[in-house]
Amino acid sequence: MSHANHLLHIDTGGGGARVEVVLRRWVRPNWQDDDPELSAEQEAATYGLLARSAVPAPRLLAADAAAQECDVPAVLLTRAPGGRMTDPLDMRAFLAQLAQVLPAVHGVDPEEAARSVPPYRPYYDRSQLLPPSWTRQPSLWERAIELGSGSDPGGPPVFIHRDYHQGNTLWSAGRLTAIVDWTSASFGPAAVDLAHMRVNLAMSFDLEAADAFLAEYRAATGGSFTLDPDWDLRATVDLVPELPFPGLPSGWLDRVEDFIARALAAC
């Protein structure tokens, strides 16, 4: 929605191997006005953090934040191997890997992260959130928006992807190879990444997948992590202006409303 991604094949000459890189151009009109905290310069700073981490992600090769070389601001990245996983053959392994990679993300040096990425904020403020026109349960969404757009439950701030969902991961032979699309990386509670993934899993698969993902994350972090159900509500209502996403499977609305109802019951 914000970028055009181009695969470039570079002939190094002299009998050298062909190198594949990705040119990521900021092409959405007026993005500077709509999302002033997001920029090619910010994305490059995020990749600087990732370069010093164990997080599987593309690496930055060059940046043209001022559009001096390209027609628009752009970053040049290594090509991460793999493709998107839409129909996992082994759901348990799929969810486990999505969870097990997160401690490396949240373990990025917090002092560097606080200097390099903006603090977490919702995508949309309360004035932009209304029960969607396509729902048969407007009162459910009204209650979710009421509770999910207030003060957040807090938590120790860490480096977060901020848009962590299965569509932003790459896979090869059943193994997670990279996390991509770091434009929204922020400094905030780890719960943001957990809840955002959970609502996406609920919509795409089922509530059991969302719960299994959380259980795998707890196991990966020693079993003490507790997710306040308010974060599930916040993650869900923060998506309202963008729903429905292209490609969502049938039944997604029933599943996301079940997800909301359960979170409301737990609050």
Residues, the chain: 267
CA pseudo-torsion sign 203, 206, 211, 215: negative
| pLDDT tens digits, one per residue of 165-193 | 999 999 999 999 999 999 999 999 999 99
CATH number of 91-266: 3.90.1200.10
Cα 235 to chain centroid distance, Å, stands at 11
Task: Compute the distance between CA of residue 196 and CA of residue 3 in angstroms, rounded to an integer.
Answer: 21
For the ranges 7-16, 86-95, 119-128, 156-165, the lowest mean pLDDT is seen at 7-16
Outline where the chain has alpha helix (H).
31-34, 40-51, 91-100, 102-106, 110-116, 138-148, 191-204, 207-220, 229-237, 252-266
pLDDT tens digit sequence for 15-42:
778 899 999 998 887 777 777 677 889 9
Q: Per residue in 104-128, pLDDT tens?
A: 999 999 999 999 999 999 999 899 9
**What would be the CATH architecture of the domain defined by 3-78?**
2-Layer Sandwich (3.30)
Domain boundaries, the chain: 3-78, 91-266
| Residue where the block lists tokens 């928006």 | 145
